[in-house]
Amino acid sequence: MGEGQTDLFGSAAAAGGEGSDAERQPAVGHGRPSVPLAARMRPRTLDEFAGQERVVGPGSVLRRALVGDQLPSLILWGPPGSGKTSLANILAEMSGAALESVSAVSSGVAELRKIMERARQRQRLGRRTVLFIDEIHRFNKAQQDAVLPDVESGVVALLGATTENPSFEVNAALLSRARVVRLEGLGAESLGTLIDRAISDPERGLGGSDVALAADARERLIMLSGGDARVALDALELAAAATRDAAGRCVVDVAAVEGALQNPSLLYDRAGDQHYWLASAFIKSMRDSDPDASVYWLARMLEAGEDPMFCARRMVILAAEDVGLADPAALGVAVAAQQAAHFVGMPEGYLPLAEAALYLATAPKSNSAMRAYVAAVEDVRETLHQPVPLHLRNASTALARGMGFGAGYRYAHDEAGAVVDQQHLPDELAGHSYYSPTDHGREAEIAARLDRMRATIAERSGDA
């Protein structure tokens, strides 16, 4: 083998340490093992791999491809602890290929070129190579360009792992030559399976260490782990070590679990997918008139460190877009919440933001303002520079009046009910309608008033 090259579970330590023999050694005695429990318990086969049934479960496309001795280039996209690295290791072993592991954080173009040369040598000997790139979203353009030709020609099968949306982080040329596989955070059942396996496994886990996990502590551990297997297993190991008594027995209770997971961090990135997903859930919950979900998603964002002004801006937009004239006060509430939160600051700034979120969620809804503007924009773009009717033009100078500007304009307040029948759109668009009020909330009153005004105009036109 060349320098830095490794087969799965061989000398992987030189290439990043993932899946090495050392990691699979059981703990010695009751001392804290040198390798974390999560690393020791990495699944070695697809049957041991918990969760992601849609991706690698029986009958899945990927599993059928592996049975057929095919391993396509893949971008494994998912949150921390969802099994990206473990899955890459398993896929490489099942394919019988040599595994080259690099980290996008520390690997340069020179190292990548050496890896590709070793892969070409293996190809000539009839052996395939899998290139695993951890944190592939951190690869710059030069690094991605260095591997592109060999991925395209099949010299290597690429397995990339990323927590970020590859559509934004991986260049189009490389992305088009790989299939994106989306992994989700592990569900409660899958996490429970991993926890139970770690407690009972005498070789790699805690099975030989006399560890018991109380049922309520198990439930709490699953809840606080947030779908992250690494967090769950490492917290379990720490809790077990903290509760070992003089006889060497560990009974892990809720207090031990919470102690091991003090101040668990919320999965969030103000510039990444979590930011956009939570913001989308927040907006849609308010639009769909669900106050409970609205305040929950607001709390999720604020507690994770989101800029309160971002939340306020989204509410101001929603007040105009989705509440609109069904409750004209909503826009004022949203703007006031922004000003109040800015003035007060955090943490108390959550109060006006929460009030606004609940107000918007429970307000009647209308998107007529947005629909009216979009319809008007279509006509603007279609007809471009339509002249303003002469009677609507400013007639403040003698020259303008001499050219007919303002001639025939009827002042609304001189008409009964301040309703006047005259053309206000350009000739090309006369008669076009953009605003269609709903019958929701205050807008029902606006609709009725418009009907009355139109009836008055029609009546006057008939008299004429």
Q: Which CATH number fits domain 188-260: 1.10.8.60, 1.10.10.10, 1.20.140.10, 3.65.10.10?
A: 1.10.8.60
Q: Binning pLDDT at 50, 70 and 90, where does residue 14 land? A: very low
- Residues 356-401 pLDDT 10s: 999 999 999 999 999 999 999 999 999 988 999 998 898 889 898 8
Percentage of residues of the chain with pLDDT beyond 90? 40
pLDDT reading at 325 higher than 90? yes
Under CATH, which number does the domain 43-182 receive? 3.40.50.300
Average pLDDT, the chain: 85
pLDDT reading at 17 higher than 80? no
Q: The pTM is what?
A: 0.66
Q: The tokens of 155 are what?
A: 């010299």
Q: Binning pLDDT at 50, 70 and 90, where does residue 263 land? A: low
Q: Averaged over 236-249, what is the pLDDT?
A: 86
In the chain, CATH 3.40.50.300 covers 43-182
* pLDDT score for 269: 63
Q: Are 430 and 423 contacting, i.e. CB atoms less than 8 angstroms apart?
A: yes
**Cis status, amide bond into 347, omega within 30 of 0:** yes
In the chain, CATH 1.10.3710.10 covers 384-463
- Residues 200-214 pLDDT 10s: 999 999 988 889 999
* pLDDT score for 264: 64
Q: Averaged over 217-245, what is the pLDDT?
A: 90
* pLDDT score for 344: 94
Q: How many CA atoms lie within 13 A of 40 on its CB side?
A: 24
User: Count of CB atoms within 10 A of residue 126's CB?
Assistant: 6
Q: The tokens of 460 are what?
A: 């006057």
* pLDDT score for 31: 45
In the chain, CATH 1.10.8.60 covers 188-260
Q: Report the amino acid identity of residue 287.
A: R
In the chain, CATH 1.20.272.10 covers 273-362
CATH class of segment(s) 384-463: mainly alpha
CATH 2.40.110.10 fits 273-362, yes or no: no
